[in-house]
């Protein structure tokens, strides 16, 4: 391939079962950026150069075989997919990831593509992220990796990992800004009608499960009581009395089984209750704050800012139903 002067050489690794948007999202960003002054030469490669079938059932044509690539690369993009538990045992794919990474100035993983990097040994000693559903699994499988469960994307040296699906667009826009400047990246984002820098982290998209399966019956009773009525005055003394234990013992149970304080648990349940109401109804923020157990709308706003990096009003705007818009 004859590269244009100043061009950045990008390779997308395609394989059967890869998530379609993990491939097409970054590809669309790069193609759009080229229309605003960027210069990317993009190649899609597969193991044997044949088309692959993505998770959505749509085929993607490869430009050639992995083995046919020569020379240095600027960026390698590794997609994820629902079949990542199988792919991380594919020695041919992992060898290709290692080889491409060794020749590239930057290797990126979209969503569950982080598991391929981890299996290839590229995340050892690094920070990384992935889709919020899988951050715990990533940390468990690769204990030498520090997993950031909230970030939309994380860069550690030459390795960049992103959260789920559309976060690959966020990551690629950041690369465009790094390579060709903020003006090109901003124009690209505007043309695609997406944020150049999306506010908040991926925790605003996650769904927590507060019904933790505690071993101690007394603790389970407290957890259920808080969830059933978040707005009740759940003081430490009241919770200890409900559990039939001392305040000191209750604190110890929370630390041992939930790795948090009772006050933190109550706040998380109340945040979750507020999230659900923001998504499901058009009640005023003041009403939602009261029914979720916050003393005031300001208290709710502060809790949301700490937890998600956005206000309750902004959260509602993003997650209201399409019919309500």
**So what's the pLDDT on residue 211?**
46
Q: Is 111 annotated as catalytic? A: yes
Domain check: are 91 and 181 in the same one?
yes
Averaged pLDDT score across all residues of the chain = 88
Using the predicted structure, report yes or no on whether residue 205 has a pLDDT greater than 70.
no
The residue-averaged pLDDT of 151-175 equals 90
**So what's the pLDDT on residue 296?**
93
Give residue 108's domain range: 8-204
Using the predicted structure, report yes or no on whether residue 292 has a pLDDT greater than 50.
yes
Higher pLDDT, residue 182 or 198: 182
**Residue 1, in any domain of the structure:** no
CB 162 within 8 A of CB 171: yes
**So what's the pLDDT on residue 201?**
63
CATH number for the domain spanning 120: value is 3.40.50.880
**So what's the pLDDT on residue 101?**
96
User: Of the listed 39, 106, 111, 281, which one is catalytic?
Assistant: 111
**So what's the pLDDT on residue 204?**
57
Distance between CA 314 and CA 301 in Å, rounded?
Answer: 10
Please list, in sequence order, all residues whose beta carbon lies within 8 angstroms of the beta carbon of residue 239, skipping any fewer than 6 positions away: 222, 225, 226, 250, 262
Higher pLDDT, residue 279 or 5: 279
Using the predicted structure, report yes or no on whether residue 1 has a pLDDT greater than 50.
no
Summarised one tens digit per residue, pLDDT across range 257-279 is 888 899 999 998 999 889 888 87
**So what's the pLDDT on residue 123?**
98
Q: Tokens 């950045």 belong to which residue? A: 8
**Residue 127, in any domain of the structure:** yes
């Amino acid at each position: 391939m004859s590269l244009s002067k100043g061009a950045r050489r990008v390779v997308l690794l395609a394989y059967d079962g890869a998530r379609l948007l993990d491939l097409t999202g970054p590809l669309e960003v790069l193609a759009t950026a080229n229309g605003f002054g960027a210069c990317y030469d993009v190649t899609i490669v597969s193991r044997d150069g044949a088309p692959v079938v993505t998770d959505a059932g749509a085929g993607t044509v490869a430009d050639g075989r992995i083995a046919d690539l020569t020379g240095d690369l600027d960026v390698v993009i590794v997609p994820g997919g629902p079949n990542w538990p199988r792919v991380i045992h594919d020695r041919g794919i992992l060898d290709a990831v290692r080889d491409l990474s060794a020749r590239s100035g930057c290797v990126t993983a979209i969503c569950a593509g982080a598991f391929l990097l981890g299996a290839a040994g590229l995340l050892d000693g690094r920070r990384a992220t992935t889709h919020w559903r899988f951050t715990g699994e990533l940390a468990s499988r690769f204990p030498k990796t520090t997993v950031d469960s909230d970030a939309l994307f994380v860069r550690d040296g030459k390795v960049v990992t992103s959260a789920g699906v559309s976060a690959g667009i966020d990551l690629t826009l950041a690369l465009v800004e790094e390579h060709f400047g903020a003006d090109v990246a901003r124009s690209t984002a505007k043309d695609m009608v997406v944020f150049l820098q999306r506010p908040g982290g991926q925790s605003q998209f996650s769904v927590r499960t507060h019904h933790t399966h505690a071993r101690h019956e007394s603790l389970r009773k407290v957890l259920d009581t808080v969830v059933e009525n978040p707005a009740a005055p759940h003081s430490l003394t009241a919770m200890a009395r409900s559990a039939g234990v001392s305040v000191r013992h209750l604190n110890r149970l929370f630390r041992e089984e939930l790795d948090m304080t009772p006050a933190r648990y109550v706040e998380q349940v109340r945040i979750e209750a507020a999230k659900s109401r923001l998504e499901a109804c058009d009640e005023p923020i003041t009403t939602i704050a009261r029914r979720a157990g916050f003393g005031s709308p300001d208290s709710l706003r502060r809790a949301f800012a700490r937890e998600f990096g956005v206000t309750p009003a902004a959260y509602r705007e993003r997650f209201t139903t399409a019919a309500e818009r």
